[in-house]
Amino acid sequence: MATSEPKRVSTNLATIYGRIAAGHERMKICFCTDLDKSVLINNFEKRGWVQVSADDDWNFYWAGTGTCRNIFSVDSGYRMHDNQLINHFPNHYELSRKDLLVKNIKRYRKDLERDGNPLAEKTEVNIPGGSKYLYLDFIPVTFVLPADYNMFVEEYRKNPQSTWIMKPCGKSQGAGIFLINKLSKLKRWSREAKTSFHPQIGKESYVISRYIENPLLIGGKKFDLRLYVLVTSFRPLKAYLFRLGFCRFCTVKYDTSVTELDNMYVHLTNVSVQKHGGEYNNHHGGKWSVQNLRLFLEGTRGKEVTDKLFGSITWLIVHSLKAVSSVMASDRHCFECYGYDIIIDNTLKPWLVEVNASPSLTSTTANDRILKYKLIDNILNIVLPPDGIPDVRWNKIPSPDMLGNFDLLIDEEIAAQDEGAPSNNGKSRSNNNRWK
């Protein structure tokens, strides 16, 4: 496999994009991508980069998760060089697969509990529903099927009036999701789908989570948040939050009645689902900016509780990343932009629904296109060294003026330098104006 050292190309100063390299020369950066998306290609070409195929020498690869798996597989024999970057970590699925995310968060809480860490403190056991984590209760009660089927049945029978949401672990965009409020419905589905819930027989994994039946509604409609989180390293953990997230609304007013249990236009906020509904609005795409949400909540609920909500969202993101940091292969050639899906209930408590390793770059509206163009541009500014040339030897500490619409969530390296000791106390250096 040929090396991918960038080629030096003489160039006139006036034609250099962005930063000027030493000796009035710049590197010829070669990129390839599995996605034919204008928000990607326009950003790369704006920097003077040249598109090549995956078989050629490349410096920057915006790949699909399958390509990434192939590149990092032992069988491929591919060895990446210092001037190559790719947009996924080798085992990103530890965070983005629904079953593994749940497993890792549960393990993280147990580890903290075993170590006597105050972050794992619980409420009193004798409260209704049993004890809960005071600070790390940010995922709904969830079980992996078929492995946890018996535990799920035990939990279900404590509250047989509850509603649960069933999701296949390896799918996205609302595929295969349904709600149940009776155990018999789950058993009937198992028979019809020929999917056994016997732990030794079942093959495809599902997660079943307690459905958030009291979501915060705006205009009578359910919504969730899509937030973009950029991770440039897991050890030490370095993560950034994009300020320009948005709310995704259902097109039909929320209704908990049994007759609407199968109506996904009421319950699922995925644009891939909602765009097929008769009430879908092509102009705004059923979306609302996070800034508008904040203004709305400050006006209707007050600034103090709104600040607390957004602080809780930051906390949730940081600790979900900490939960996987020890098992993630933190390859220096990698960075990743995750799409976090979060639901807020009517007590203004945020719940982590899932994390996507390949958030959609399809633009459904003009505002969507602008937002995603900025997202990619800002990501490039953060993951590239100051001279704009991919180089894994760089310390991955961008200057503040390169962050654009991102804010620093956590940088354990900087925190350790500031404190003169390893930073494993759960605190993060962050910008108080993150959501402004």
Residue 396 lies in a domain: no
Under the banding of pLDDT at 50, 70 and 90, the label for residue 167 is: confident
More confident residue, 292 or 198: 292
| Residue 310, H or E segment | helix 303-325
- Give how many domains the chain has, as a whole number: 1
pLDDT value at 7 more than 70: no
Separation between Cα atoms, residue 298 and residue 306, nearest integer Å: 6
Residue 142 lies in a domain: yes
Residue 44 lies in a domain: no
Residue 159 lies in a domain: yes
Dihedrals phi, psi of 80, to nearest 5 degrees: -80, 150
Residue 118 lies in a domain: yes
What is the structure's pLDDT at 76?
82
Is the separation of the CB atoms in 122 and 133 below 8 Å? yes
Separation between Cα atoms, residue 209 and residue 166, nearest integer Å: 7
What is the structure's pLDDT at 355?
96
The C-alpha angle with vertex 261 and arms to 256 and 265, in degrees rounded to 5, equals 90
Q: Which domain holds residue 360?
A: 93-229+243-329+336-372
Residue 215 lies in a domain: yes
Under the banding of pLDDT at 50, 70 and 90, the label for residue 270 is: very low
pLDDT value at 107 more than 90: yes
Residue 128 lies in a domain: yes
Express each pLDDT in 56-69 by its tens digit.
999 999 999 999 99
What is the structure's pLDDT at 271?
45
Under the banding of pLDDT at 50, 70 and 90, the label for residue 281 is: low
Show the tokens assigned to 32: 């390839």
pLDDT value at 433 more than 50: no
Residue 377 lies in a domain: no
pLDDT value at 123 more than 70: yes
pLDDT value at 184 more than 90: no
DSSP at 265: H
